[in-house]
């Protein structure tokens, strides 16, 4: 079993590149952001607890997140590998993940400057039915505000408002940079300069995986 960990600040392209990797390698993609948004959409007990955290750009509790990841892995026992998008995001989450053994693990940090992150997120469109991600400036849907993949109306994420994005970036720097440092020390770690087109960045990722 292989494990690819995608790290990066909000808007660095974890979801976009994770989806391309999933399509190409047939791995399971686990996005803790998508999982938690699904709970909010269903108005489940977890969703109700987490909604305020998401809207304010704060992290959801480690306990909830770790449980969701474990459930997702248990539901898919026969996969050849998995891609983590947005997990682990705290040292405690990293410790929980390290207890799940795999044959190989690669950590990839998508590095993008703050100005670009804000530009990408304030122009992002999102499908709350299938999770597809677009960008008004660089990757628009074929029909305005309509998802190419499922035909649903597109929307903006509630946490993509400029002030919430700034808060999310601050939390990334405080909580997740130490996790990235931990993987850097561990080895099998690659930092990728992730500004450029989606295809260019995907080629760089494939370069480190081959």
x/- track of binding to ligand G5P for residues 25-64 (CB under 6 A): -------xx--x----------------xx--xxxx----
198 binds, among Mg ion, ligand G5P, none (CB under 5 to 8 A by kind): ligand G5P
22 binds, among Mg ion, ligand G5P, none (CB under 5 to 8 A by kind): none
Tell me, rounded to whole angstroms, the distance of Cα 54 from its chain centroid: 14
Contacts with Mg ion by CB under 5 A lie at: 15, 33
189 binds, among Mg ion, ligand G5P, none (CB under 5 to 8 A by kind): none
* Full DSSP string of 125-182: EE-TTT--EEETTTB--SSTTB-TTT-PBPB--GGGSHHHHHHHHHHIIIIIHHHHHH
What H or E segment, with its residue span, contains residue 38?
A: helix 32-42
Selected binder of ligand G5P within 1, 73, 91, 198 (CB under 6 A): 198
Q: How, if at all, do strands 124-126 and 28-31 pair?
A: unpaired
Position of tokens 């690819």? Answer: 4
Tell me, rounded to whole angstroms, the distance of Cα 88 from its chain centroid: 10
Number of residues that bind ligand G5P (CB under 6 A): 37
DSSP state, 27?
P
Contact in structure between 110 and 133 (CB atoms under 8 Å): no
Residue number with the shortest CB distance to Mg ion?
A: 15
x/- track of binding to ligand G5P for residues 92-131 (CB under 6 A): -x--------------------------xx--x-------
- Min. distance of Cβ 98 from ligand G5P in angstroms? 15
If the CB atoms of residues 90 and 106 are measured against ligand G5P, the closer one turns out to be 90
- Min. distance of Cβ 42 from ligand G5P in angstroms? 15
């Amino acid at each position: 079993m292989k494990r690819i960990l995608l790290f990066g600040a909000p808007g660095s392209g974890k979801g976009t590149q994770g989806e391309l990797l999933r399509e190409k390698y047939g791995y399971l993609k686990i996005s803790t952001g998508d999982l938690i948004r699904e709970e909010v959409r269903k108005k489940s007990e977890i969703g109700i607890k987490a909604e305020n955290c998401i809207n304010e750009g704060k992290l959801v509790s480690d306990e909830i997140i770790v449980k969701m990841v474990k459930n997702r892995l248990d539901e898919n026992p026969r996969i050849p590998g998995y891609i983590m998008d947005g997990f682990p995001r705290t040292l405690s989450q990293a410790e929980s993940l390290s207890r799940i053994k795999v044959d190989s693990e690669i950590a990839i940090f998508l590095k993008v400057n703050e100005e670009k992150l804000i530009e990408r997120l304030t122009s992002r469109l999102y499908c709350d039915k299938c999770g597809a991600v677009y960008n008004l400036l660089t990757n628009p849907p074929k029909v305005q505000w309509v998802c190419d993949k499922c035909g649903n109306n597109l929307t903006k994420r509630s946490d993509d408002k400029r002030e919430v994005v700034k808060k999310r970036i601050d939390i990334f720097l405080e909580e997740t940079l130490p996790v990235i440092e931990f993987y850097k020390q561990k080895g099998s770690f690659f930092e990728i300069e992730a500004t450029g087109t989606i295809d260019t960045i995907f080629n760089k990722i494939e370069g480190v995986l081959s």
